[in-house]
Structure 1
Amino acid sequence: MDKPISSSPAYAAGSDSTRIQNRVLKNTYMLLSMTLLFSGATAGLSMALNLPHPGIIITLVGYFGLLFATSKFRNSGLGIVCVFALTGFMGLTLGPILSAYMSLPNGGQIIMNAMAATGVIFLGLSAYVVTTNKDFSFMGGFLTVGILVAFLAGIGAFFFEIAALSLVVSAMFVLLMSGLILYETSNIIHGGETNYIMATTTLFVSIFNLFTSLLHLMGFMSDE
């Protein structure tokens, strides 16, 4: 008599792999939800206290420093602390930007539109990957180069105050962050990313940059 399929070693290994991937996906979205709420709270606190923007140097040092710490401690409980520190810090830097938009006649509407668009893009892309089970790992090299180029161009646009370049960079980041959401979600589903702390960090950064880029573009289109 043939052995039941469930007793096959290959089947058992496949089932274990699927369970691990589902667990990583579940933990990632749970932690991502909490970090988004925490970041929103720190952004609101920053707005309530009318805190000034820390400046590009402190922002970059704080961001990359906390990102390095999160990566270093990703396999320990301290990694959770680091990811909340990172997302909370990013919320604090976002607060002054939102305050500046809120001071505009149509600022509140621009913020809500950017937030809604970000949510639709993230949920739509994530659902597409989960339902189709497509593998987007081939995008890794392109995204790495694209993000580096866009980042350097953004630094140049800031220091040289080139408004047109700044808009181009924002448009690039919308496309790149959308690609990164596809890539990272695919990575989780296909077992390329098994650490939910790092998966959360990547998706959070994608959402954050997607939102700020859309905010910039929508503000420009509204002549604000």
Structure 2
Amino acid sequence: MGTLVSGYLDSSWAGRVIVLAIICASIFSWAIILFKARQFRRGERELEQFRQLFDHLGGNLDALYEQTVHSRGNPASKLFQACYREIHLLAPRGDSNMAVIRAEVVEGVERASERAITETEILLQRGLSVLTMTASISPLMGLLGTVWGILEVFQAMDRAAAPSIKDIAPGISAALVTTVFGLLAAMPAAAAYNLFLVRVNRMLAMLENFAGMISNILVRHQLRQAK
């Protein structure tokens, strides 16, 4: 840490500006990391709670709706509520063509579940682009600072009569500091992005599984009412 501080203090104004920009990006990305980690942990806990409630109540749709109607943040509850409301908008029909009724019910439930899953996917992926930008841009900013610093070292060598290694070593060290800062900012952001992406895919797979189970129960329920 002392090496980084001394290298930063030896940097030119351009190097310091680049380092400060990298630090700001790193702080912002860490804020996103902490927020998303909490969001995913809460979402996974809510999915498990819904699964337990779903298993406990079984096919009692009205009771399940009453239990989940106030669970605004639970992605599985929102999925069920969307399907439940959609299927109750479909007016029961008295004709004998049950195939037509089933097709309408299935289509309505699928539309509702797809909308709910898409909304959840957008919510889960919100902020992840900041991590990808930090992971990709921070090393480039660090490289820019290093190249800029090396150019300044060469210019100083050109002005000096007989430069020695002691004269150019501090400049080279200061130039490399920006690359170090860039890598330190990029690595956690890249690791967090990939870990979060795995959790997004896992939660979406769980929601799609819930959607299939909910759709089957709702369709059977509505078909019984239509008879």
Alignment TM class, shorter chain as reference: 0.3 to 0.5
TM-score (structure 2 length as normaliser)? 0.36
Instruction: Select the structure with the greater relative contact order (CA < 8 A; seq sep ≥ 6).
Output: 2
Rg comparison, structure with higher value: 2
TM-score (norm 1): 0.36
